[in-house]
Amino acid sequence: MKLTSKLCGTALLAVAGVAIAAPNTKAVDNLQHDGDAYIEFTRNTEGGSNTTITKPGTTGSTITNIPDVTDPGDFGIVAVTPLDFSSHEVVAGSAATEYFALPFVANEGNADEYLVENFVKFYDGRSTLNRAYKLYAEMTQEFTGQVEGTDVALNGSELMFTNLALTSIEPSHLQPESADLNFGTNSLSYNVAGNKQLMLENTAANKGAGDYELTFGNQDAGTAATSVKLNLKDDIEIFETKYTAKIQWTLEATR
């Protein structure tokens, strides 16, 4: 407290000294006077994006059963729907080599259950002059199961994403600029097995703020059931087991 009092006192004496020492100061134009105005914006430190998940591009139809929903803070991935390629009978010598992920069953088993396309939800709430970013996907673990205590894998398989679209409830002036998507449908196929695949790039430094969903197909349009495909090598041995893979999604700021 003593240090604060001394500093305040010194500042007051300095102001008084200026007034006494400058009797010949030039006359001030009393017809004009500049006044300051202030406004300050602060961030909500209680958390980042709202982690309530809804049907892509809407504010309704809340989804409560997506696992591992994450508060990304100012920047990151909120949720990813798990990919269910269903169960298939193994018939020696006649196994199919192409399988499709089912649409996600939102709120499965509840009265408000419904089907929705698979999607990745991400958020950018940074206060920055450059919010350009890239979204990547990579299958970091091949489809792997166990037989008699030994790991077996569907080696060489391809995991393909197609019919990509970007949805949001954000106003159009905030939405990312992407040469590939343009908030439409992209029919290109992206293989995320064995490589880090660029899925989306926001090329505008002053756009891309808010909540977005990268979707694969559209349930209402009938394409959700054919937009995520697993291709198996035709000479691979398939065992009677449950295979699980890991797909890593990365949102990366570009400076």
Provide block-wise average pLDDT over 10 residues at a time, the chain (255 residues): 26 36 59 63 58 91 93 92 89 71 95 96 92 93 92 91 91 83 69 89 92 94 94 87 92 88
Residue 130 is predicted with a pLDDT of: 93
What secondary structure, in 3-state letters, does the chain show? CHHHHHHHHHHHHHHHHHHHHCCCCCCCCCCCCCCCCCCCCCCCCCCCCCCCEECCCCCCCEECCCCCCCCCCCEEEEEECCCCCCCCCCCCCCCCCEEECCCEEECCCCCCCEEECEEEEEEECCCCCCCCEEEEEEEEEEEEEEECCEEEECCCCEEEECCEEEECCCCHHHCCCCCCCCCCCECCCEECECCCEEEEEECCCCCCCEEEEEEECCCCCCCHHHCEEEECCCCCCCCCCCCEEEEEEEEEECC
Residue 5 is predicted with a pLDDT of: 21
Residue 39 is predicted with a pLDDT of: 54
Residue 8 is predicted with a pLDDT of: 23
Asked if 212 and 167 count as a contact pair (C-beta separation under 8 A), the reply is yes
Residue 249 is predicted with a pLDDT of: 95
**Which residue from 208, 196, 199 is spatially nearest to 228, judged by alpha carbons?**
199
What distance in Å separates the CA atoms of residue 138 and residue 132, rounded to the nearest whole number?
Answer: 20
